[in-house]
Structure 1
Amino acid sequence: MRRPRLPLGSPFATLLLACSFALAGYAGVRLLEGDPIGVLLWFVGAALVHDLVLLPLYAAADHALVRALDARGGRELTGYVRVPAALSGLLLLVWFPLITGRVEDRYRAVTGLSPDGFAARWLLISAALFGGSALLLLLRLRRSRRLRRATKQRPPAVH
């Protein structure tokens, strides 16, 4: 009778997973050390704001994008808008207090750095994300056009 194998994957993957859990546990202990009630309230509030406010907003925006591109026959192009928009939105969410300037004094006191320029940097990163996505789309369209031309020029096979 064979013993059932645990679905853990390779030893390296198991070690990496154990190290990840150890690091997350250490970060959790350090985070809850100062103000555990405040941290827990922040996590619960963030989950509620995400599920009740942000999720419906970006689901509606994605639905509108899919409908607009589907009407033009370009539904497969949604990824070229979704990915940079999602990354830009995530950066906005993470750095929102610094982008809006709400925690300038606190940031300066803790880090000793100037909080100036976060909004400009976020806009530049967002522009680079959308520009890179547009460049990838242009390269894809160029390649598909070249492949179509090559198949039209190829003589038919004689059997």
Structure 2
Amino acid sequence: MTLSTHAVTTAFRRRYGASPLHLLLVLASFALACYAGLRLLRGDPLGVALWFVGAALLHDLVLLPLYAVTDLAVQRVLGKRRAKGEGGPRTGVNHIRVPAFVSGMLLLVYWPLIFRQVGHYTSTTGLPAGVFLERWLLITACLFAASAAVLAVRLRNGGRGAGRSGHGGPAPVAAPGEAGENGE
């Protein structure tokens, strides 16, 4: 008795939890990460290991508590606004989180250029190195301005056409067997 391709794929999905393509992509990403790690460790393995440990400690002991407290403070400030009827934490917090995250990632990736810590950049590329701080600040301002504009539009449109859920999205649907809005 031969098994069809569909039966084999279904059995694989049941056992693995995803498609064979997912497994292939995961294995390819691990291979790429291993290759990059080996290339990275070729120069100064002790320095790279110390950098990774230091980065993990800095993140876990300093940055994580810092942005957790900041996020809590933003939620509380926006929560007080909700009590006054001006929108709630779910409406506004993500409009602060997203641009802050993108700006933080840009800072993390480009901090040597932003803070002019790379002296050989201009001689190597022929491009000016003194423009990155201003550009990062401009990008950050644009991210927050765009997020504020989206929030303003959402709040303005929130009163019109908002479903029962009160967040401008569709009203929740009653589960089978539950009474709907009219007691059906």
Q: TM-score, length-normalised on structure 2? A: 0.71
Mapped partners of 2:29, 2:13: distance in 1: 25
State the superposition RMSD in angstroms: 2.2
**What residue number does 1:152 align with?**
none
2:129 to 115, 139, 143: 115
- 1:1-150 alignment, distance < 5 Å: 5-73=14-82, 74-76=88-90, 77-103=92-118, 105-108=119-122, 111-147=125-161
Does the 8 A contact of 1:80 with 1:133 survive in 2? yes
Query: Unpaired segments of 5 or more residues in structure 1?
Result: 149-159
The list of structure 1 runs, each at least 4 consecutive aligned residues, that deviate by more than 6 angstroms after superposition, is: none
Does the 8 A contact of 1:88 with 1:126 survive in 2? yes
Identity within the alignment, %: 54
Does the 8 A contact of 2:12 with 2:20 survive in 1? no
How many residue pairs are counted as aligned between the two chains?
A: 146
Q: Which has the higher helix share?
A: 1
Give how far 1:93 is off: 2.1
Q: Which has the bigger relative contact order, CA under 8 A and spacing at least 6?
A: 1
SS in 2 for 1:147: coil
Q: TM-score, length-normalised on structure 1? A: 0.81
Mapped partners of 1:4, 1:51: distance in 2: 36
Give how far 1:109 is off: 5.0
Give how far 1:142 is off: 2.6
Give how far 1:55 is off: 1.2
